[in-house]
């Protein structure tokens, strides 16, 4: 039997760093600059809700996911230029 927790899964600092492929220092700078959600502090440890981290990541990936290659113009054969 699977127990479903009403609480979100929490990620530690190392898990967030690994997920985003960033260093400890970069993560700290991003939090300080308010470019990344602040952590939940539990004593001396910090945790992030997995859903919040994934939401932040999805928002950053949105422009890349919406990107479309430029449409190429149809080439006209040489000597048949349109007037």
Per-residue pLDDT of the chain (83 residues; tens, 9 = 90+): 676 778 889 999 999 999 999 999 999 999 999 999 999 999 999 999 999 999 999 999 999 888 888 887 767 667 666 65
Domain ranges of the chain: 10-64
Residue 57: closest CA among 24, 22, 32, 33: 22
* pTM: predicted TM-score of the whole model, two decimal places: 0.73
Distances (CA, A) of 75 to 18, 81, 82, 83: 47, 10, 11, 14
Classified by CATH at the fold level, domain 10-64 comes out as Arc Repressor Mutant, subunit A (1.10.10)
């Amino acid at each position: 039997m699977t127990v479903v927790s009403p609480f979100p899964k929490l990620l530690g600092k190392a898990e967030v760093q690994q997920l985003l492929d960033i260093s400890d220092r970069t993560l700290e700078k991003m939090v300080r600059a308010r470019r990344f959600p602040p952590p939940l502090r539990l004593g001396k440890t910090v945790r992030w809700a997995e859903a919040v981290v994934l939401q932040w990541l999805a928002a950053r990936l949105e422009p890349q996911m919406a990107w479309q290659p430029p449409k190429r113009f149809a080439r006209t054969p040489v000597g048949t230029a349109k007037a």
